[in-house]
Amino acid sequence: AELGEAEALAALGGALGGGAGGAGAGDGALRGCEGRAGFLAALCGVLAGRGGAGAGAPGVRALAAVCLKNGVARGWRAAGAAERARVRGALLVLLPDEDPVVAEHVALAAAKVARFDFPREWPDVFERVLGGLQAAAGSLAEAQYLLCLNHLLKELASKRLASDKQQFRVVAGGLLQPVLEMWKRAHEAACGRGGGATGAGLERALLLTKCLRRLLVYGFASDARTLALLPLDPGAFVLALQFASALGQPVQAAVPGALEAAGKAQEKLLKLLVELVRVHPWSVGQPSVMGPLLTFLCGAVEQAPAGGAPAAERLLVQSMTSLHAILQCREYRDEPESEAGGGVGGGGG
């Protein structure tokens, strides 16, 4: 018989030590539920608070979210088609959650499902996430939808079959502009006048930089091979440098963790730029981009304070790494023909 929500709830409570046999017996009962028909759908019901009394207890719901993520990873293909459809329909409805542990693991579960089912059985997953982002603008749920988007892109970008890579390029072509617009707005908010960055604003900026990186690095063939520049206004690269510079300015000390968060956001922007040098050298090598980039990096190295704070040290290391990548980039080096084996210069500057 298909596992019901009440039975799943009892097993979860037992695993937390709430059963008559203690936590050990409860763990065994929970393991016995794994792989049974209806288990994943029942977990979604518990997370939605429909499993009866106690379903909203933080410990039970957090454990249900972890079990859902693990259950999808281990047994998604073994679940029946009807159950898979119910879980797909529930995941993005469950995503906005006050418990960050629940939100994190539901987002991871959604990404795992998309790895198996996108685009054939879940073609509208990105449309639904973007719709959730638009509806949740400025709320806690916005950051959670961004977290889900980041996990979705990370999961799909890691697939290695040629057909999967081509499918991800289609996704990237459709998502690049909306993600870029959100990225701009998030950084403008995080780099407000007077160092008015907030923890939530910096979190959004950081997540969107990660999303943008996956789209640009994995969603477009290297321009060193295609000689086709990224479909991106060169001003976006300069904007990234301006944001990186602004994030290096003092932030409000009263905001807990703001300095560390600003340093991470700044570091991610520079890592994005240096990775683009390696993957899309001609897009970054445009004079309107490379000039400001070199000016920023050289200035960061020359003006680095002796015995600086950890954030300053990270900026120095990342700037030197970026300069090294630029100097080593084969496409930027105009090698004599004799050094290139008598053929065309290696990559030609």
268-326 pLDDT, tens digit each: 999 999 899 999 999 999 999 999 999 999 998 998 887 767 777 888 888 999 999 99
Per-residue model confidence (pLDDT) at position 32: 82
Instruction: Evaluate if residue 198 carries a pLDDT over 70.
Output: no
Residue 27: the pLDDT is 77
pLDDT at 259 over 90: no
pLDDT of residue 201: 80
Which position has the token pair 């088609």? 81
Mean of per-residue pLDDT scores for the chain: 86
